[in-house]
């Protein structure tokens, strides 16, 4: 997706060897117009699959998922939670995810009410690095006996093994920008 790639090149920057900061438009400040273009692109890429719900993880995935859902006939969005709350049901699906940027594992939770057997679920998320977030969401979808119809990712770090891992499980993965290297502060797209 050219608009996304040019935005990454213009506004993103690299921290150390492996952290790409895109917080000016993707995961702290949000460019809502760009999110709409991303949503349209996901609709194009997943035009041939039936989508009943979009599933994502808090926090950065939520805005993407909501804007994207508008291009999928306003299907409901469900976001996996990371922390317990008095507001949250007791009847939950759990999985475990290792975060690359936070350097620790955390639990994700989805109420059993919001993913049902047979639901066609599209995963939407901002980053794919080690692939653990997508696999954690897939684990929850499997527990619910729902169907994972695809995973739409904004930025895939192609130099980490998440993309291969996710594709090797037969998941219908589309990443809008795949970065093959960020050596010496220079971003190379696949």
Residues in the chain: 190
Nearest residue (CB) to a second copy, 29 versus 168: 29
Nearest CB to a second copy, comparing residues 83 and 169: 83
Reported as type and span, the H/E element at residue 92 is: strand 92-99
139 Rama class: left (phi>0) / alpha (psi -120 to 50) / beta: alpha
Of 43-51, 56-64, 116-124, 149-157, the window that binds a second copy (rule: CB under 8 A) is 56-64
Tell whether residue 50 is a contact of a second copy (CB under 8 A).
no
Q: Which two tokens stand for residue 140?
A: 């929850």
Residue 55 CB: number of other CB atoms within 10 A? 27
x-or-dash string of contact with a second copy, 16-45, rule CB under 8 A: ---x-x-xx--xxxxxxx-xx---------
Distances (CA, A) of 71 to 9, 36, 74: 26, 9, 7
Positions in the binding site for a second copy (CB under 8 A): 15, 19, 21, 23-24, 27-33, 35-36, 58-60, 62-63, 65-67, 69-70, 74-79, 81, 83, 85-89, 101-103, 110-111, 113-114
């Amino acid at each position: 997706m050219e608009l996304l790639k040019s935005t990454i090149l213009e506004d993103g920057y690299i921290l150390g060897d492996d952290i790409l900061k895109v917080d000016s438009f993707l995961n702290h400040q949000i460019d809502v117009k760009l999110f709409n273009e991303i949503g349209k692109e996901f609709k194009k890429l997943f035009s041939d699959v039936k989508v009943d719900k979009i599933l994502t993880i808090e926090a950065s995935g939520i805005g993407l998922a909501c804007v994207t859902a508008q291009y999928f006939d306003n299907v409901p969005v469900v976001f996996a939670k990371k922390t317990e709350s008095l507001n949250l049901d007791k009847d939950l699906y759990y999985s475990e995810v290792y975060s690359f940027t936070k350097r620790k594992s955390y639990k994700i939770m989805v109420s059993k009410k919001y993913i049902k057997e047979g639901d066609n679920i599209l995963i939407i998320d901002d980053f794919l690095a080690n692939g653990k977030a997508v696999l954690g969401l897939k684990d929850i979808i499997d527990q619910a006996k729902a169907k994972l119809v695809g995973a739409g990712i904004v930025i895939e770090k192609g130099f980490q093994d998440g993309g291969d891992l996710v594709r090797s499980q037969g998941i219908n993965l589309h990443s809008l920008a795949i970065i093959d290297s960020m050596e010496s502060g220079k971003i190379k797209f696949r």
